[in-house]
Amino acid sequence: MASILSGLVDLDRTARTRLTRRLYEQLRAAIIDGRLRPGHRLPSSRVFAGELAVSRNTVTAVIDQLAAEGYVDIGRGRRPTIAAGIVPALARGASRQTRAAGRAPLSAWGRRIDHAGWPFEGEGAARPFAPGVADGRAFPHELWGRLLRRAARRGRLPASATNSPALQDALARHLIDHRGVKTTPRQIIVTPSAQAAIELVCRLMLNAGDVAWLENPGYGGARVALDAVGARVIGVPIDRSGLVLGGRAPKPRLIFVTPSHQYPTGRLMSIDRRLDLLRSAASAGSVLIEDDYDSEFHYDGRPVASLQGLDEAECVFYVGTFSKVMLSDIRVGYVVVPEGLVRTFETAQRHAGQLVSATLQAALSEFIGDGPYAAHIRRMTRIYSARRDHLIRALDAASPGSFAIDSPAGGMQLLARLGQADDDLLLCSHLRTAGVTARPLSRHFVGRTTQRGLFMGFAAWNEEEIDAGARLIGDVMARYRRHRLPEAQSL
Ligand SMILES: Cc1ncc(COP(=O)(O)O)c(C=O)c1O
CATH 3.90.1150.10 domain position(s) in the chain = 375-481
Q: For residues 93 and 434, is the Cβ–Cβ distance under 8 A?
A: no
Q: For residues 268 and 259, is the Cβ–Cβ distance under 8 A?
A: yes
Rounded to the nearest 5 degrees, what angle is found at the Cα of 18, between the Cα atoms of 16 and 21? 125
C-alpha distances out from residue 398 to 345, 358, 364, 376, 394, Å? 49, 48, 41, 32, 6
Judge whether residue 245 has pLDDT over 50. Answer: yes
Average pLDDT over residues 251-277: 96
| Interatomic CA distance for residues 300 and 385, integer angstroms | 9
3-class secondary structure, 164: coil
91 CA from centroid of ligand 1 (Å): 47
pLDDT of 104-157, one tens digit each?
899 999 999 988 888 777 777 889 999 999 999 999 999 999 999 999 999 766
What is the pTM for the complete model shown?
0.82
Label residue 338 by pLDDT band (50, 70, 90): very high
CATH 3.40.640.10 domain position(s) in the chain = 152-370
pLDDT of 346-397, one tens digit each?
999 999 999 999 999 999 999 999 899 999 999 999 999 999 999 999 999 9
Average pLDDT over residues 213-231: 97
Whether 221 is in the pocket of ligand 1, judged by its Cβ within 6 Å, is yes
Q: Which of 267, 324, 325, when mutated, tests ligand 1's pocket best, judged by the most ligand atoms within 8 Å of its CB?
A: 324
Q: For residues 363 and 441, is the Cβ–Cβ distance under 8 A?
A: no
Q: What is the per-residue pLDDT for 58?
A: 87
CATH 1.10.10.10 domain position(s) in the chain = 2-103
Judge whether residue 100 has pLDDT over 80. Answer: no
412 CA from centroid of ligand 1 (Å): 12
- Say which range, 157-171, 199-213, 427-441, has the weakest mean pLDDT: 157-171
Q: Which of 257, 260, 293, when mutated, tests ligand 1's pocket best, judged by the most ligand atoms within 8 Å of its CB?
A: 293
pLDDT of 464-477, one tens digit each?
999 999 999 999 99
| Interatomic CA distance for residues 133 and 336, integer angstroms | 24
Q: What is the per-residue pLDDT for 103?
A: 72
Q: Which CATH code of 2.40.50.140, 1.10.2020.10, 1.10.10.10, 3.30.360.10 fits the domain covering 2-103?
A: 1.10.10.10
| Non-local CB neighbours of 383 within 8 Å, separated by 6+ positions | 135, 138
Whether 413 is in the pocket of ligand 1, judged by its Cβ within 6 Å, is no
Quote the DSSP letter at residue 27. Answer: H
3-class secondary structure, 381: helix
Q: What is the per-residue pLDDT for 79?
A: 87
Architecture of domain 375-481: Alpha-Beta Complex (3.90)
What CATH class has 152-370? alpha beta
Whether 320 is in the pocket of ligand 1, judged by its Cβ within 6 Å, is no
- Say which range, 13-17, 28-32, 116-120, 411-415, has the weakest mean pLDDT: 13-17
Q: What is the per-residue pLDDT for 1?
A: 44
**Neighbouring-strand partners of residue 235:** 214
**Neighbouring-strand partners of residue 188:** 336
